[in-house]
Amino acid sequence: MKIRRGVIELIMESSKSSLPNEFAAILKAKRGVIYEIALLPGTISGETSAIMQIFLRPLDLNYVGTVHSHPSGLIYPSDEDKSLFSKFGQIHIIVGYPFKIDSWRAFNNEGIQVDLEMIE
Ligand SMILES: [Zn+2]
């Protein structure tokens, strides 16, 4: 799996404008490349948690995982995050303050950090 740089840039901009709240979205991929994010209706954004209504998502095989922000800057999945990761998708990104181009990590559905190559 790879991700386009423009998607990371969009995620970082969205995370900045969501402050002090978290930002959350679904990752869309085609042929192994994450090329877009989708916002879900019913996403509840709060200062400490962004709870996605993942079971209300449209059925779409291009939805491969989730992304959300940690305004705290700590880029590790919480227990709540791990529980969400285990229910849906295969790749999950957490971005952290100050939301620079490299302020992120990717995790699998067990919450273990994995490599995700950024491409132009
Ligand atoms: Zn989190």
More confident residue, 91 or 84: 91
Tens of pLDDT, residues 97-107 = 999 999 999 99
Domains and CATH numbers, the chain: 2-113 (3.40.140.10)
* pTM for the model: 0.89
For residue 8, how far is its CA from the centre of ligand 1 (angstroms)?
Answer: 17
Q: How far apart are CA 96 and CA 99, in angstroms?
A: 6
The Å distance, Cα 81 to ligand 1 centre, comes to: 5
Centre of ligand 1 from the C-alpha of residue 91, in Å: 14
Give the tens place of pLDDT for each residue, 24-73: 898 999 999 999 998 876 565 655 555 555 555 566 778 899 999 999 99
Q: Determine the Cα–Cα distance for residues 21 and 46; give it in Å rounded to an integer.
A: 5
Pick from 5-9, 65-69, 92-96, 116-120: least confident? 65-69
